[in-house]
A and B are shown apart, each in its own frame.
Chain A
Amino acid sequence: MNQNNKLSIEDVYKSYGNKLVLDNIDLKVAAGELCTLVGPSGCGKSTLLRLLLGQEFADAGSIIIDGAPARHPDPHRGIVYQKYSLFPHMTVFDNVMAGSRLSKQAWYLPWKRDKDDEAFAISMLERLRLVDAMRKFPHELSGGMQQRVAIAQALMSKPPLLLMDEPFGALDPDTREQMQIYLMELHEEHKLTIFFVTHDLDEACYIGTRLLVLSQYYTDDRGEEPTVARGAKIVGDYRLAREALPTTEKSSAYFKAFVEQVRANGFSPNNRCHVRDFNLKHPHSFQTLTREENQF
């Protein structure tokens, strides 16, 4: 099929004990996309991310990343966490160089240096305004700076797919907005493919080129009895136009109306959409329903 897919997921199920969390997830993400994933809290966003990362494995279904099945964590995907992304015992520069050193420099040759990578690291630090903090340790930096370092660190090894788990969740609103703009710029500059998990719908609609809504609030033909275990599905898949990016866009009437529409469709237990009627407008969107889910 499409060779351009950095990520393709088909019929993925995941449960913890007898609680079904992910229920028949299908998804393809093309190269160059900044794909945001939102959903109500507890719907399984982090679970899906852990599957993509290879930290846990699906009960059924296939997850293909950059052409290969997802195994244990490896350099096929980068990750930026909300915290603990940085190595506390390394300076900012060493943190950014960590990828290069861990993968190329033998432990018995610690004095061997990769000049090209070091130059790239410096340019990345310059780009993110971190050069002055280069010799500092992570705990000496503000939250926003730490996350910038974490992004630089992940980008250094040029992962085919960059996963981000609520990377700006702990930042104050101003810093957060700056970081969002940084991320969008880096995305365009480096032609990155990013899978961005957040619980903030505004953020997801604002920075993404594609918006995925994961939710457990939907119905299907399996019936309404409490015995039917139902997990979260992708209930919305939108293409987002991202032209010029003034921060005022967030306050435009159109943007607000769109956010409200997504919220109504995915975040409300009282407004359940049927699986056949999900808003899967994105051209790469696809859905394979089981017979039980779609009987009539």
Chain B
Amino acid sequence: MTANYKPVQPARLFGVHATPRNWHKLVLGLLPFILIIALYAYASHARKLDNPDDKLLPGFSQMVEAMQPLVMQPSPRNGQYVFWADTLSSLTRLALGCSLAFVAALWLGLNMGAFRGLEASASPFITFISMIPPLALLPMLFITLGVDEVGKVALIFIGTFPLMTRDVFIATKAIPREQLVKTLTLGGTQLAYLYRIALPQIMPRALDTFRLSLGAAWLFLIAAEAIASTDGLGYRIFLVRRYLAMDIIIPYVAWITLIGFLLDWALRVLARRLYPWYAGVNSK
């Protein structure tokens, strides 16, 4: 009997066995974006038909028109391009706060993970202060550090530092004891273990944590700018809210989202380049 079996065709889209092709993934990935934009355009158009002065859902041309002076023309007041000046101020605060927190967390977490004595002293404290809602500290920070840059950077620092420290600490502690003994028997010192063996091993994971902390950092940045500032992306959004300027708010939010997305992507690429072994170790 010669049964004529057809070779099994793997499912492409549906079911748990599906293995979508690459162009499938691209189209499927873009689909939600296209849908949401189309939906918005339709809703905006429908409202315009109802009321030509509608402010809630401005059309895309309206947004371009509103953004044009901010992006392309120097402000008559101080000669700055408002949009770019806002972006620069916000990114500076974000970068300062986050990188200070990252370096401090890396150093403290590493030492806590390696030295049991320091762990005993610092670990309960870090756990405790990580429970403080950072926004509750904002008034105190503004009172003590002033409403200038320092207060905002400090808020981002305080908001992201405890969590990153704890994560670096856990990662360092999770390195097998064998690696320490190995280092010492090969003639390395305790510090060599810390900075030449443990640090490079936890770096990729620390960068992951850093990426995830960026979300929280944005939150604190925008909150601080909304409350006391004279420039910045968050400041602008809250300023123009008074005039119901959705045609400015929406592009600003989209811009913040895009920056966040690009930062995340860049950090991922950087980690993959610098630590090519990491993906392989983890997939085992």
Other-chain contact of A88, B177, B196, B201 (Cβ < 8 Å): B201
Contact status B188-A102, CB under 8 Å: yes
Contact status A89-B187, CB under 8 Å: no
Decide if A216 is an interface residue (CB 8 Å cutoff).
no
Among B179, B187, B192, B200, the most chain A Cβ lie within 10 Å of the Cβ of: B187
How many angstroms between the C-alpha atoms of A104 and B184 in the bound complex? 13
> Restricting to A63-98, which residues have a CB under 8 Å from any CB of B?
72-75, 77-79, 81, 83-85, 87-89, 98
Decide if B262 is an interface residue (CB 8 Å cutoff).
no
Expressed in whole angstroms, the minimum distance between the Cβ of B61 and any Cβ of chain A is 53
Residues of B within 8 A of A77 (CB): 185
Decide if B276 is an interface residue (CB 8 Å cutoff).
yes
Contact status B183-A79, CB under 8 Å: no
Contact status A99-B280, CB under 8 Å: no
Residues of A within 8 A of B183 (CB): 102
Expressed in whole angstroms, the minimum distance between the Cβ of A145 and any Cβ of chain B is 15
Binding site for A on B (CB under 8 A): 176-188, 192, 195-197, 200-201, 275-278, 280-281, 284
Binding site for B on A (CB under 8 A): 53, 55, 72-75, 77-79, 81, 83-85, 87-89, 98-99, 102-104, 107, 137, 139-140, 153-154, 157, 159
How many angstroms between the C-alpha atoms of A137 and B282 in the bound complex? 13
Nearest CB to that of A74 among chain B residues?
Answer: B184
Contact status B275-A74, CB under 8 Å: no
Nearest CB to that of B178 among chain A residues?
Answer: A84
How many angstroms between the C-alpha atoms of A120 and B179 in the bound complex? 23
Nearest CB to that of A139 among chain B residues?
Answer: B280
Residues of B within 8 A of A74 (CB): 184-185, 187
Residues of B within 8 A of A83 (CB): 178
How many angstroms between the C-alpha atoms of A107 and B284 in the bound complex? 31
> Given the known A-B contacts A99-B187, A102-B186, A102-B192, are A87 and B197 also in contact in the complex, defined by CB atoms under 8 Å?
yes
Chain B interface secondary structure, helix, strand, loop or mixed? helix
Contact status A107-B188, CB under 8 Å: no
Contact status A89-B185, CB under 8 Å: no
How many angstroms between the C-alpha atoms of A87 and B176 in the bound complex? 10
Other-chain contact of B176, A84, A104, A140 (Cβ < 8 Å): A84
Contact status B184-A137, CB under 8 Å: no
Contact status A75-B177, CB under 8 Å: no
Other-chain contact of B186, A98, A137, A139 (Cβ < 8 Å): A98
Expressed in whole angstroms, the minimum distance between the Cβ of A86 and any Cβ of chain B is 8
Other-chain contact of B184, A72, A81, A87, A140 (Cβ < 8 Å): A72
How many angstroms between the C-alpha atoms of A107 and B191 in the bound complex? 10
Among A74, A75, A88, A103, the most chain B Cβ lie within 10 Å of the Cβ of: A88
How many angstroms between the C-alpha atoms of A75 and B182 in the bound complex? 9
How many angstroms between the C-alpha atoms of A17 and B196 in the bound complex? 36
How many angstroms between the C-alpha atoms of A77 and B277 in the bound complex? 29
Residues of B within 8 A of A157 (CB): 185-187
How many angstroms between the C-alpha atoms of A87 and B177 in the bound complex? 12
> Given the known A-B contacts A102-B196, A107-B192, are A78 and B185 also in contact in the complex, defined by CB atoms under 8 Å?
yes
Nearest CB to that of A53 among chain B residues?
Answer: B181
Between-chain CB contacts (< 8 Å), 24 pairs: A55-B177, A72-B184, A74-B184, A75-B186, A75-B187, A78-B186, A79-B185, A83-B178, A84-B178, A85-B178, A87-B179, A88-B201, A88-B277, A88-B281, A89-B201, A89-B277, A102-B187, A102-B192, A102-B196, A103-B187, A107-B192, A137-B276, A137-B281, A139-B284
